[in-house]
Structure 1
């Protein structure tokens, strides 16, 4: 797995989220100012609801911009030999299943596919991220997953 490929795929995924948020915000704004949204009675709240929706969608746009900026600084970070933000790591478990994670500042749970391999964004604030934080190549990591203990081995840190 090449880290530059993962970074470019993450950039594209973040840009897609921004685009979708912008489209939703624009649509909500248009709905809010459309003549059919005007209140006909004092109990008609369609225009107010549309305004709230537009405000919420605009907040999604701001969050997407903040995420892109946060990732850009992480993409430039030099990765040492430990699990820190910006690291691309490969874990394996007792059954020799392999898992790829990109340690990001935000957007935990974002999934990208590189060929047929899934890479999941993981933040250091998540339960697994906390267990991995600061670990080194070759370390074992114990993690409580839904009441059962799992042990992962750190195969790669890129």
Structure 2
């Protein structure tokens, strides 16, 4: 499991470097002499400044997520454990298709390639995580996705 947390940190660091480059480009554009407004309708510099601000907020968020995962002490799980934050959960739908979900403390929405295949990071505040938390192996969970009822069975907890 240490591999998964390291892979999440690696992806977050990649996203951070991408956001830092984009933020620098937006800052350069906002402060470039050619982008000084010629009239009140010329908003290129203002738009670039908003973009730079948004990128700086994203950078701060990514730095916070990286720090959180670097200091994260993941609980130990087995198939008799209840699902909680830190669990890698394998669920199976009615068509016997399996998905792996990591309930992480942050960075929901990341997809990480791992030895288990693709792992989707979700956070405890998501509707699916709220349904899974406190459940056990072989429990069934009913959910609605895109206005369609879906039933999952919990196959394993790691």
Scaled by the length of structure 1, the TM-score of the pair is: 0.87
Residues 12-31 of structure 1 aligned to structure 2 (within 5 Å): 12-31=10-29
**Unaligned regions of 5+ residues in structure 2, if any?**
none
Report the alpha carbon displacement of residue 28 of structure 1 after superposing the two structures with TM. Answer: 0.7
The more displaced of 50-59 and 65-74 is 65-74
- How many equivalent pairs are there? 155
Write the deviation string for residues 10-38 of structure 1: whole angstroms up to 9, x where unpaired. 11111111111111111111111111112
Secondary structure of the equivalent of 1:58? helix
Q: Which 4+ stretches in 1 moved above 3 angstroms? A: none
| Structure-2 change in CA distance of 1:22 and 1:149 (3 Å) | same
Paired position in structure 1 for 2:8: 10
In 2, Cα distance between equivalents of 1:90 and 1:45: 49
Paired position in structure 2 for 1:105: 105
Paired position in structure 1 for 2:87: 87
The more displaced of 91-100 and 109-118 is 109-118
Are the equivalent residues in 1 in contact too, given 2:5–2:69 (CA < 8 A)? no
Scaled by the length of structure 2, the TM-score of the pair is: 0.87
Secondary structure of the equivalent of 1:64? helix
Secondary structure of the equivalent of 1:20? helix
Paired position in structure 2 for 1:117: 117
**Unaligned regions of 5+ residues in structure 1, if any?**
none
Report the alpha carbon displacement of residue 119 of structure 1 after superposing the two structures with TM. Answer: 0.6
